[in-house]
Amino acid sequence: MSSFRIEKDSLGKMQISEDALYGAQTARAVDNFPISGIPLPQPMLRALGLIKKHAAQTNQSLGLISAETAEAIIQAAVEVVEGKLDDQFPVDIFQTGSGTSSNMNANEVIANRATRILGQPLGSKAIHPNDQVNLGQSSNDVFPSAIHIACAEQLHQQLLPALEQLLQQFAEKSEDFKNILKIGRTHLQDATPIKFGQVFSGYARQIELAHERLTMNSRGLYELPLGGTAVGTGINTHPQFASRTIAAIANETGLPFREASNHFEAQGAKDALIATSSSLKDCSISLFKIANDIRFLGSGPRCGIGELVIPAVQPGSSIMPGKINPVMAESLMQVCAQVIGNDATVSLCGLSGNFELNVMMPVMAYNILQSIELLSHGIKAFDEKCLAGLQADEQRCGDLLERSLALVTALVPEIGYDRAADLAKQAHKTGRTLRDLALEDGVAAAILDKLLDPASMTEPKS
């Protein structure tokens, strides 16, 4: 049988596993929130560890805690940052909306680990979770600061580099396909000719703009609420605590974090997270459009459009031998659907900034971090297993282009819209070519040679 120890919080005693580093408030939260079994994401634990580490350094430099206490807290906090104590964070994401349970989870784990470092027994509070680890802080400014740090780090380490690689790949495909002519399509119907390189240049620009919007709209993450404590007034914190601590966090992460210019906005609203999530949604919409185009352009191989040849990465059917499906595009599209749904959740959470505090922060953190992770992995997989090996079927592109009636558009300046429309109807009805009908209608062969050249239709006329 497992052995236990008893710890107390302001509500009374709690029984805790003897070896657990967390304390009574964490144990109480585990009992209160047996909801999803999903703990706080690891990037959030890292961010909480960073805050506690640099808070201890600041408090020691301000003479508020001893060097011995600070060193023990810092060592324990570094272990949290490095992921060595992840199993000590069992609190469900569907918890108190301020994240107090998770902040106290971090305080208790770090306090008990620091206590053990000092050679004292767990639960003895030789290092106190509130008075020392949480000194100068409140869950109400620590938890939203941790969300900002976690999201900013994940964006810069994962998603933005993935988008940059995808942009390069699309640019390379645009160059590879620059001389391949194909039929354009609008309203799912044949339109005027286009170069495949032009199509892929459009995709490249979509990704470039998505990167720009995400970079711009996530800048609000650099403002940290730390220093506002309970309601933004900074009660019970040293005037220099926030600026010193945030400067140290910025130095370690290499990101330009700074103290919020208005702590009441920073704690009462979560608009920076809303803007970031919205840009993740926008990015997903662009990616969905591109992936969907690619799977339709690769449909077939014989009875669909078939202008693209999609790499075969796995058998496509349990019953139809030889079938290959656009699975990487489908995977990315499902990622995009999830991210769009996550944004709806984040938006609803953002509405709950009641008075001086938002009270739906843990689920906001979970959804935004999941969106960043899913997009990062989804983009990399699509890039490596689909886009890198994507080929254009030049023969198929040419065959479809030759059969298209949309080429008649080029005759409009010569014979007028109505006459050109009649030729197109006749060609469709009789199965004859536009050239033959136009010759019969009196258009000179030399003019037809010039006007019906598909390449000339892909650029504006001088």
Give φ, ψ of 211 to 5 degrees.
-60, -45
What residues have CB less than 8 Å from 375, skipping those under 6 apart?
Answer: 159, 162, 280, 283, 284, 287, 335, 336, 339
> Is pLDDT above 80 for 461?
no
The token pair at 306 is 């078939």
Are residues 356 and 412 both part of a single domain? no
Determine, yes or no, domain membership for 85. yes
Determine, yes or no, domain membership for 5. no
Nearest Cα residue to 169 out of 354, 379, 348: 379
Nearest Cα residue to 197 out of 170, 168, 169, 177: 177
Q: What is the reported pLDDT for 120? A: 97
Are residues 213 and 297 both part of a single domain? yes
Q: What is the reported pLDDT for 85? A: 98
Are residues 193 and 131 both part of a single domain? no
Identify the domain boundary among 393, 418, 438: 393
> Is pLDDT above 90 for 318?
no
Determine, yes or no, domain membership for 410. yes
Are residues 328 and 191 both part of a single domain? yes
Are residues 195 and 312 both part of a single domain? yes
Q: What is the reported pLDDT for 16? A: 94
The dihedral over CA atoms of 362, 363, 368, 369, expressed in degrees to the nearest 10, equals: 60
> Is pLDDT above 70 for 435?
yes
pLDDT, tens digit, 9 for 90 and up, residues 344-379: 999 999 998 899 999 999 999 999 999 999 999 999
Residue of 3, 10, 187, 318 marked active site: 187
Determine, yes or no, domain membership for 258. no
Q: What is the reported pLDDT for 23? A: 96
Q: Are 275 and 368 in contact (CB under 8 A)?
A: no
Determine, yes or no, domain membership for 245. no
The token pair at 33 is 């929130």
Q: Is 331 known to be catalytic?
A: no
Are residues 37 and 63 both part of a single domain? yes
Q: What is the reported pLDDT for 317? A: 83
CATH of the domain at 439: 1.10.40.30
Are residues 175 and 297 both part of a single domain? yes
Are residues 389 and 415 both part of a single domain? no
Nearest Cα residue to 190 out of 427, 462, 393: 427
Taking residue 90's Cβ as centre, other Cβ atoms within 10 Å add up to: 16
Q: What is the reported pLDDT for 114? A: 98
- pTM (two decimals): 0.95
Q: What are the residues facing 144 on neighbouring strands?
A: none
Are residues 345 and 211 both part of a single domain? yes
Are residues 291 and 389 both part of a single domain? yes
Are residues 383 and 413 both part of a single domain? no
SS (H, E, C) the chain: CCCEEEEEECCEEEEEECCCCCCHHHHHHHHHCCCCCCECCHHHHHHHHHHHHHHHHHHHHCCCCCHHHHHHHHHHHHHHHCCCCHHHCCCECCCCCCCHHHHHHHHHHHHHHHHHHCCCCCCCCCCCHHHHHCCCCCHHHHHHHHHHHHHHHHHHHHHHHHHHHHHHHHHHHHHHCCCCEEEEEECCEEEEEEEHHHHHHHHHHHHHHHHHHHHHHCHHHHEECCCCCCCCCCCCCCCCHHHHHHHHHHHHHCCCCEECCCHHHHHHCCHHHHHHHHHHHHHHHHHHHHHHHHHHHCCCCCCCCCCEECCCCCCCCCCCCCCCCCHHHHHHHHHHHHHHHHHHHHHHHHCCEECCEECCHHHHHHHHHHHHHHHHHHHHHHHHHHHCCCEECHHHHHHHHHHCCHHHHHHHHHHCHHHHHHHHHHHHHHCCCHHHHHHHCCCCHHHHHHHCCHHHHHCCCC
Q: Is 187 known to be catalytic?
A: yes
Q: What is the reported pLDDT for 462? A: 63
Indicate the range of 8-22, 91-105, 247-261 predicted with least confidence.
8-22
Burial class (CB in 10 A: 0-12, 13-18, 19+), 61: middle
Q: What is the reported pLDDT for 292? A: 98
CATH of the domain at 175: 1.20.200.10
Identify the domain boundary among 338, 365, 393: 393
Residue of 36, 66, 317, 456 marked active site: 317
pLDDT, tens digit, 9 for 90 and up, residues 254-303: 999 999 999 999 999 999 999 999 999 999 999 999 999 999 999 998 89
Determine, yes or no, domain membership for 247. no
The token pair at 196 is 């495949």
Q: Are 381 and 328 in contact (CB under 8 A)?
A: yes
Are residues 69 and 193 both part of a single domain? no
Band of residue 2 on the pLDDT scale cut at 50, 70, 90: low
Band of residue 448 on the pLDDT scale cut at 50, 70, 90: confident
Looking at the structure of the chain, the number of domains it has is: 3
Determine, yes or no, domain membership for 254. no
Identify the domain boundary among 102, 135, 168: 135
Q: Which domain holds residue 326?
A: 155-224+267-393
